[in-house]
Structure 1
Amino acid sequence: MIKLFSLKQQKKDGEASPRTGNQKKASAAQLRITKDINELNLPKTCTTEFPDPDDLLNFKLVICPDEGFYRTGRFVFSFKVGPNYPHEPPKVKCETQVYHPNIDQQGNVCLNILREDWKPVLTINSIVYGLQYLFLEPNPEDPLNKEAAEVLTNNRRLFEQNVQKAIKGGYVGDSELQQHCVKIKQWKNYL
């Protein structure tokens, strides 16, 4: 069970007893993320995971699309909320290898609200819906993976085949070439 109200309870406990020198005050980022998570309204295709229930600044979002090109996949995103949140967006990385025009092989995500269009009034909920939308409507106009964007624009059938191949654990395009090169290097080291 996630301890969403732990910061509030700590504050109440602190008010009920005399202050001690080792008691920490919650930062603005911690207070805001607590509020955002309490107000989170996840679609049925999304879940959150908190590896450390006492650390709301680092968590995972799992998206399992039920329609579109990615309907059979399971995609995990890590969220790292910095001390300047909500004035700076959280750092979001895709931990799942995916063939997507807006997600590169290092897990970087091209979503405007994670960059230039971020505003402090936006919430974690806004990011969740933005990420989910990327799986429903990939955007080849603003790509991180130019090859996937080009295939989506020119051959939607091939794009869908590549997505399904990647979801099943296969390699597509440069990924396959890189994996092949790694195996060759390993083989040469063995000899």
Structure 2
Amino acid sequence: MVLILSTGTMIRLFKVKEKQKEEAKNANRNGSFKKQSAGELRVHKDISELNLPKSCTISFPNGKDDLMAFEITIKPDEGYYMGGKFLFTFNVGATYPQEAPKVKCKTKVYHPNIDLEGNVCLNILREDWKPVLNINTIVYGLYHIFTEPNHEDPLNHEAAGVLRDNPKVFKSNVRTAMGGGRVGDTYFTK
């Protein structure tokens, strides 16, 4: 079947399309319409389905309209870091879930899997990331490195060596750091 349109009909169709484009532009300018990327849609889904441990909280420093940047606070209730409070920033890119979010620890911590600049060594944030993983998985992974730090895959090699060779000294160093003291050449605030 062939559809034949007159020139007048074609012109009206083009004008309708142009009008729709103009309305979409105006809606964008007025803030009433914002097309979401696949990454934004997925983050929205992940956050709506979060099942955080009772010792973890989420906050949105840029407001609830910006779900691509948020913070997670972890307060371990067991292990070496019990009683501490650790803040992590999450920056989710437009390519999420194809790429893992960028996660940084904003709390200076003596930890084998977190360096003094806040970089986090968690396999699912690197080579083991898969699009089927989600924000909840990352939070549980972060919580896990506080309850069971891993000296076999360290970012802070000094802390990893102490944990491996002398867990009692490691525990003492963690307590000193969390209490606002000096461990080696590094000063930690309370």
TM-score, structure 1 as length reference:
0.81
AA of the residue aligned to 1:26: Q
Residue aligning to 1:20: 24
Give 1:36 deviation, angstroms. Answer: 0.1
Residue aligning to 1:90: 101
- For 1:14-69, what per-residue CA distance to the aligned partner results, in whole angstroms no more than 9, with x for missing partners? xxxx9532232111111000000000000001000111221000000000001100
Count the aligned residue pairs.
Answer: 159
Asked if residue 136 in structure 1 is aligned to residue 140 in structure 2, the reply is no
AA of the residue aligned to 1:54: D
Secondary structure class of the residue paired with 2:39? helix
Residue aligning to 2:127: 116
Residue aligning to 1:38: 48
- For 1:49-104, what per-residue CA distance to the aligned partner results, in whole angstroms no more than 9, with x for missing partners? 11122100000000000110000100000000011100000000000010000000
Aligned-partner Cα distance in 2 for 1:32–1:173: 43
- The aligned runs of 1:1-191 (5 Å cut-off) are 20-21=24-25, 22=28, 23-51=33-61, 52-176=63-187
Secondary structure class of the residue paired with 2:140? helix
**Percent of aligned positions with the same letter in both sequences?**
62
Aligned-partner Cα distance in 2 for 1:84–1:167: 36
TM-score, structure 2 as length reference:
0.81
Secondary structure class of the residue paired with 1:78? strand
Aligned-partner Cα distance in 1 for 2:71–2:181: 24
Secondary structure class of the residue paired with 1:29? helix
Aligned-partner Cα distance in 2 for 1:63–1:36: 18
Aligned-partner Cα distance in 2 for 1:110–1:166: 19
RMSD over aligned Cα atoms: 1.2
AA of the residue aligned to 2:170: F
AA of the residue aligned to 1:33: V
Q: Which one has a bigger Cα radius of gyration?
A: 2
AA of the residue aligned to 1:147: E
Secondary structure class of the residue paired with 2:57? strand
AA of the residue aligned to 1:112: N
AA of the residue aligned to 2:184: G
Structure 1 stretches of 4+ with a deviation exceeding 4 A read: none
Structure 2 alignment gaps of length 5 or more: 1-21
